[in-house]
Amino acid sequence: MSRGAHRSPAQWRSILQEHDASSLSTSEFCKRHKVSSQSLYRWRKLLEAESVPAQPMFAPIQPAMEPLPADQSTDGHCHLRINLGRWLSFELAVPLT
Summarize pLDDT for 39-88 with one digit per residue, the tens: 999 999 999 888 767 676 776 777 776 666 655 656 777 777 787 777 88
List 91's β-bridge partners, or say none: 81
Domain ranges of the chain: 9-51
- Beta-carbon contacts of 84 under 8 Å, excluding residues fewer than 6 positions away, are 90
| Model pLDDT, residue 67 | 66
CA dihedral 44, 48, 49, 50 (to 10 degrees): 110
pTM above 0.85, yes or no: no
Report the distance separating Cα 91 and Cα 97, nearest Å: 19
Summarize pLDDT for 17-34 with one digit per residue, the tens: 999 999 999 999 999 999
| Model pLDDT, residue 21 | 94
